[in-house]
Amino acid sequence: MTAPERPPVGSGFSTLLYKELLRFWKVSAQTVMAPVLTALLYLLIFSHVLESHVKVYADVGYAAFLAPGLVMMSMLQNAFANSSSSLIQSKVTGNLVFVLLPPISHVEFFGAYVIAAIVRGLCVGAGVMAVTLVFAWPPLRAPVWIAVFALLGCAFMASIGMFAGILADKFDHIAAFQNFFILPATFLSGVFYSIHSLPPFWQKVSHFNPFFFMIDGFRYGFFGQSDVSPWLSLAVVGASFAVTALALLVMLERGYKLRH
């Protein structure tokens, strides 16, 4: 595959978007291939250990059930990583000023980072799906729901990544955000299990986790079954993205922790 096409000179938004796309594409072995390999290892280990012990949906093997969850988890984590790492890297190295000086509006700034993160998330998701199809073939009942939750989930996580990147002052802060928020939230979202297998208390706790709704809605597109209504999941994810995006746009307009 070739690198993204260079935008026309003088277009601030397209130039920033091109820069963000090229930033992860130039190291695709690290930003795309490595997450695909990680997801494959999860699939091999968990499906081998739990295939004969876990049955979530009738006529659906555990490997097939696990595949969509791994795809979505990989997309969410990498969408977050793309926007957060780009902002903190620019802040630490001091080159963020070259992004802020051109006449780019805060909306264009937000759009470029979010779209680039979505593209990376979708690339990783496509790679994970391709390798999981070797081991399991989940059905495809509602592809529109798959596309909606993939795009909206990646957009939400890209926004969270920008939020973390703006607040962080060094790489350790991003690592702490990932270790204490992103990883626990994704692993406790039903990627490897149905929340109906949990005790009642933890089932209720799961409903306060937006990652659960993203993964459950995405999985509904494959099986036509879910732990909660896909419309509820769509409402929760959409509202979460709207609130985060609005807060980010206000922060960007004021230059909070970006213009010192």
Among 106, 115, 111, smallest CA distance to 82 is for 115
Exposure string (b/e) for 122-158, b if CB count within 10 Å is 16 or more?
A: bbbbebbbebbeebbebeeeeeebbebbbebbbbbbb
Q: Give the per-residue pLDDT at 166.
A: 93
Phi, psi values for residue 227, rounded to 5°: -75, -30
Q: Give the per-residue pLDDT at 10.
A: 47
Cα-based distances in Å from 237 to 68, 215, 226: 17, 10, 15
Among 85, 252, 248, 97, smallest CA distance to 170 is for 85
Distance of CA 81 to the CA centre of its chain: 8
Q: How many angstroms separate the CA atoms of 109 and 251, rounded?
A: 12
Cα-based distances in Å from 240 to 11, 111, 167: 31, 17, 19
Whether the CB-CB separation of 233 and 217 falls below 8 Å is answered with: yes
Rg, Å, the chain Cα set: 19
Give 72: exposed, middle or buried? Use CB within 10 Å, 0-12, 13-18, 19+.
Answer: buried
C-alpha distance across the termini of the chain, in Å: 40
Q: Give the per-residue pLDDT at 45.
A: 82
Q: How many angstroms separate the CA atoms of 126 and 240, rounded?
A: 24
Q: Give the per-residue pLDDT at 9.
A: 45
Do you know the residue count of the chain?
Answer: 260
Among 164, 126, 169, 131, smallest CA distance to 147 is for 126
What's the pLDDT tens digit per position in 227-238?
Answer: 899 999 999 999
Q: How many angstroms separate the CA atoms of 62 and 55, rounded?
A: 6
List the pLDDT tens digit at each of the 260 positions of the chain. 566 665 554 478 898 999 999 999 999 999 999 999 999 898 888 777 666 666 666 677 778 888 999 999 999 999 999 999 999 999 888 888 888 877 888 899 999 999 999 999 999 999 999 998 888 788 888 999 999 999 999 999 999 999 999 999 999 999 999 889 988 888 888 888 878 777 888 888 888 899 999 999 999 999 888 889 999 999 999 999 999 999 999 999 998 888 76
pTM for this entry: 0.90
What's the pLDDT tens digit per position in 74-119?
Answer: 999 999 999 999 999 998 888 888 888 778 888 999 999 999 999 9
Q: Which two tokens stand for residue 214?
A: 């993203």
Whether the CB-CB separation of 163 and 244 falls below 8 Å is answered with: yes
